[in-house]
Amino acid sequence: MTIRHLPLLFLLFLLLFGESARSTPLASVSASVLPPSPRTFVTSAQRDAFRSWCTTGDGAASFAAMRAEFDATLLNLPLPPEPQPYGKPYPQAKTNEAVRAWRAAQIDASRITSTAEAATLIWLVTGSAPHLEKAKAALQAAARWSPDGAAGIAYNDEAAFRLWRKIPFVYDQLRSTLTPDERATLLPALRAWGAAIHHHVYTKTQKTIRNSIAVTPSSHPVRFVSMDGIAGLALLDDLPEARQWFDYALNWYRTQFPPWGGDDGGWSEGPRYWETGVVSEPVRFQDALHQIGHPDAWDRNNPRSFWRQTGYYGACVLQPYPATSFGDISMNGKVRLDWKNVRFLQKLARIFDDGHLAAFAALGQSPPATFPLAAGSYPTGMEHLLSAFADTALPLPPPADLSTLPPVRWFRDIGWVVMHSSPGRPDDDIMLTFLSSPYGSFSHSHAAQNAFILSAYGEELAVNAGYREYHGSPHHDRYTRNTLSKNALLIGGRGQAPKSRTSTGKILCLDTTQPRLIRTTGDATAAYNDQRPSADPLVETVRRDIVFVDRRYFIIRDTVHLAPPHAALPVQWLLHAERPITWDEATQAATLTNNKARLFVALRSPEGSLDGKVENTWPTPPSAGFLHSQKIATQSHFTAATTGNSGSVRTIVAILWPDRILSDDTHPGDLSFDLSRPAAGSGTALRITRPDGSTDRVIFTGDNVRIE
């Protein structure tokens, strides 16, 4: 049996056994509660309002600009042909030529369906016959692509995704213009594509559990559930099985979404995959539900719903300026509160009447006056237009005062803690993100337990190092995904296990009860022992305390208890930056300097002095062509290793003092501190001389910390 037979056999199985084949009960949605077709994004009852909105309303400028761009670039352009196979379909097996072909197939799939989408909407608004003919031609051409071919879900799932996410919507809107012969040709193709996609989505997501990796979720199929539901909604009148596609997606979002987060709104794969896994695809399904008045849309009746909280994930981890973050990030490795994320925060602010989200959105990049067509990518400008139309009845609330929000947010669902000194004032803000996550290092997460990143005064300082040329490239696989690229620890030169869902961490506490201190602790023991024989653990405990003092500077204390057979191993403390780091062996201090800000780091270990070194290369570098295309220079990598390695305990304490670079380059005072034992009992006492001249005494005893 070949793979091309599977979708039809699976479809037959579902038709014969229906709901009994499901592991969870399907949502009961009577056809009588749904409006007549077309019912995706612009329903039959909304067409007049959409035309008016696109010609004289708030959508008019974007619609006119995109129509002009479409007419100049795509109306008379030949449609792209179906992609051809390029060899083995998996990233780790690809040559550079295959990677280019893999991406080209995705671009072509986006272009053919974006052409169909844009032409359809232009016809819908204007009644233009040439645009209707272009829309029908693009729909028919796209439907002829084989679901078992080089753009199929089993060969290039991203190309299949870009194709199927739009075809059903286009068919739904054009249905009344199609002849019986045209429908008779299209529907078997749509059935085959829908069966292939649903088979893939169902088999990969049916057992996923909300906020859990007990059943391993798969990143792409989780994203694809949305298009399965939209296809079902669009084709309800034409294909009996479409009811099952829609009901499956509806029920899955109701009971199993999100596997990568939970009630706190976090997304364990990081903000870049939050953009695709939340901001882009699930939003389309929620918009579709909203437009038909479905009660499940946005889970509005649940005060602790993921949708109500997830805006704060983006608002807390993204700044208006580009910076690294945790998880896979393509190309230059940076994310920001760009206009697409701003629009999402505005959407959530409208839906939940949340002035704080409106205020966060106002900090980011302003949405363009007109959406770009962006026909070779996703989301397209027409998608943004449809999403904005869905919000027309929801006013944007006035911005609320962000200074009233707590300076720290713990995303318990994913094991992230984000601290801000000045929420809502990015040019004055000091921000630290700390990760110790139950989601391990698999999928798009990295081996980064107990790692941190730090930004201050409008730019990043301590960064996650490395890049992602493409998923599974040598540099990505051997460096970027590994602990060596993080502001974390190596133990005996070894990091945590990458690509493992059992390489986990845990946030043990967040203490905000003391007026001058915010303190959190992460435990990464499991991550360093992962993939080792149970009889030979490397460590007994690995803990990192992070203390934010006066919302001005940080104390980081690392305590490693080595397992007896490994008691002689050193521990390496890592720090990475975009600009060169300098190290002063005599003072045991490191400095990194950027354009607007710098970071002073003083280090001590009670076991003896630390051996520091700075390197400006990667052990496995990215390709020269990638570095040139992205205009990327080398990064700076600092390591401080323990030297007094007697006993089985290693302690490293770091003071991190971020500071502005003033126009006259005035240098602040020195940062220094001494370590000692507290007068009573075990622990660590720090006497810190701050660059501003004041002195703090901070005492760690057991699980407690206090300042004097």
pLDDT tens-digit profile of 60-115?
A: 999 999 999 999 999 999 999 999 998 887 656 667 788 889 999 999 999 999 99
Average pLDDT over residues 401-430: 98
Residues 291 and 246 in one domain: yes
> Does 18 map to a domain?
no
- Beta-bridge mates of residue 698: 686, 707
Could you tell me the pLDDT band of residue 396, with boundaries at 50, 70 and 90? very high
Residues 476 and 373 in one domain: no
> Does 276 map to a domain?
yes
Provide the edge-to-edge strand list for the sheet that holds 684-689: 672-676, 684-689, 695-701, 704-707
Q: How many CA atoms lie within 13 A of 631 on its CB side?
A: 0
Contact 109, 101 (CB under 8 A): no
Q: What is the pLDDT of residues 222-255, one digit of tens each?
A: 999 999 999 999 999 999 999 999 999 999 999 9
Contact 318, 327 (CB under 8 A): no
Could you tell me the pLDDT band of residue 662, with boundaries at 50, 70 and 90? confident
Query: Residue 69: helix, strand or coil by DSSP?
Result: helix
Higher pLDDT, 664 or 296: 296
Residues 380 and 467 in one domain: no
Tokens of 620: 């496995």
User: In CATH, what number is assigned to the domain containing residue 104?
Assistant: 1.50.10.100
- Per cent of the chain over pLDDT 90 is 85
Tokens of 579: 């600009």
Could you tell me the pLDDT band of residue 14, with boundaries at 50, 70 and 90? very low
pLDDT reading at 435 higher than 60? yes
Cβ partners under 8 Å of residue 369, min gap 6: 61
> Does 20 map to a domain?
no
Could you tell me the pLDDT band of residue 678, with boundaries at 50, 70 and 90? confident
- For helices 355-363 and 339-352, the axis angle rounded to 10 degrees is 170
Residues 455 and 385 in one domain: no
| pLDDT score, position 22 | 36
Cβ partners under 8 Å of residue 443, min gap 6: 217, 218, 219, 260, 269
| pLDDT score, position 33 | 73
Domain final residue pick, 356, 390, 424:
390
Q: What is the pLDDT of residues 124-154, one digit of tens each?
A: 999 999 999 999 999 999 999 999 999 999 9
Contact 582, 614 (CB under 8 A): yes
Provide the edge-to-edge strand list for the sheet that holds 610-615: 489-491, 571-577, 636-642, 610-615
Average pLDDT over residues 540-555: 98
Phi first, then psi: give them for residue 451, nearest 5 degrees: -90, 160
Average pLDDT over residues 203-211: 98
Full domain range(s) for residue 524 = 411-707
Query: Residue 28: helix, strand or coil by DSSP?
Result: coil
E-strand ranges in 563-616 read 571-577, 581-584, 589-593, 597-604, 610-615
Q: What is the pLDDT of residues 612-639, one digit of tens each?
A: 999 999 999 999 989 988 888 789 999 9
Contact 448, 464 (CB under 8 A): yes
- Per cent of the chain over pLDDT 70 is 94
How far apart, in whole angstroms, are the C-alpha atoms of residue 34 and residue 14? 23
> Does 79 map to a domain?
yes
Helix then strand then coil, % of the chain, to nearest 5: 40, 20, 40
Higher pLDDT, 569 or 632: 569
SS (H, E, C) 303-363: CCCHHHHHHHHHHHHCCCCCECCCCCCCECCCECCCHHHHHHHHHHHHHHCCHHHHHHHHH
| pLDDT score, position 95 | 76
> Does 13 map to a domain?
no
pLDDT reading at 6 higher than 50? no
Residues 347 and 436 in one domain: no
Number of domains in the chain: 2
Residues 496 and 359 in one domain: no
Tokens of 104: 């080209």
How would you label 603-614 residue by residue, b for 16+ Cβ within 10 Å and e otherwise?
A: bbbebeebebeb
Average pLDDT over residues 314-335: 96
Could you tell me the pLDDT band of residue 295, with boundaries at 50, 70 and 90? very high
> Does 403 map to a domain?
no
Cβ partners under 8 Å of residue 426, min gap 6: 319, 320, 321, 363, 458
CA angle 25, 28, 29 (to 5 degrees): 145
Smallest CA-to-CA distance from 575 within 652, 690, 516 is with: 652
Contact 353, 303 (CB under 8 A): no
pLDDT reading at 2 higher than 60? no
Helix ranges (H only) for 565-665 are 624-630
> Does 679 map to a domain?
yes
| pLDDT score, position 496 | 98
Q: Which amino acid is at 475?
A: H
Record the pTM. 0.93
Domain final residue pick, 332, 355, 390:
390
Contact 505, 437 (CB under 8 A): yes
| pLDDT score, position 16 | 40
Residues 113 and 221 in one domain: yes
CA angle 263, 269, 272 (to 5 degrees): 110
Tokens of 320: 């208006």
**What is the distance, to the nearest Å, from the Cα of residue 312 to the centroid of all Cα atoms in its chain?**
13
Residues 440 and 374 in one domain: no
User: In CATH, what number is assigned to the domain containing residue 441?
Assistant: 2.70.98.70
pLDDT reading at 195 higher than 50? yes
- Beta-bridge mates of residue 323: 335
Residues 368 and 451 in one domain: no
> Does 400 map to a domain?
no
Residues 362 and 453 in one domain: no
Residues 416 and 383 in one domain: no
Residues 135 and 245 in one domain: yes
Contact 466, 530 (CB under 8 A): no
Q: Which amino acid is at 480?
A: T
